[in-house]
Each structure stands twice: as structure tokens, then as C-alpha cells.
Amino acid sequence: MGEKFVVIVDENFSEPMPKEEAIKKVKSYDDKTVNAYMVSEEEAKKLKAIIK
């Protein structure tokens, strides 16, 4: 099983997903006025701890 990724949009975290799906999700925000980021599942856990 490959590494999972999380998409972050306006401090909202998605569920972990495969890399290809995460890339598609980030690209879907390209034409919108929000910032979307893709990070590893491990990094997302660290960020959640900092944001809380």
C-alpha cells in the first residue's frame, strides 16, 4: 500500500487518499480563490497538532 496524502483547504483537512487523487483534488481548486495544499498523512498529523 502506498503513502497517503491529505489535501488542506482553509485549515480543513481531507481524509487520507492516494497521491493521484490528492493531485486531482488540488488541481480542482486552481481556478478558485482558495489555496489548497497536498501534504503527506504524517505531515498532516503534525499540522493538526499545531493548529489546535
What Å distances lie between residue 6 and 33, 48, CA to CA? 20, 11
Q: How confident is the model at residue 36 (pLDDT cuts 50, 70, 90)?
A: very high
pLDDT at 51: 81
Euclidean distance between CA atoms 33 and 40, whole angstroms: 23
Predicted TM-score (pTM) of this structure: 0.86
Euclidean distance between CA atoms 32 and 49, whole angstroms: 27
- Measured over the CA atoms of residue 4, residue 35, residue 47 and residue 51, the dihedral's sign is negative
Residue 21 has pLDDT above 90, yes or no: yes
Question: What would the grid cell of residue 7 be?
Answer: 489535501
Q: pLDDT > 90: what percent of the chain?
A: 75
Residue 32 has pLDDT above 90, yes or no: no
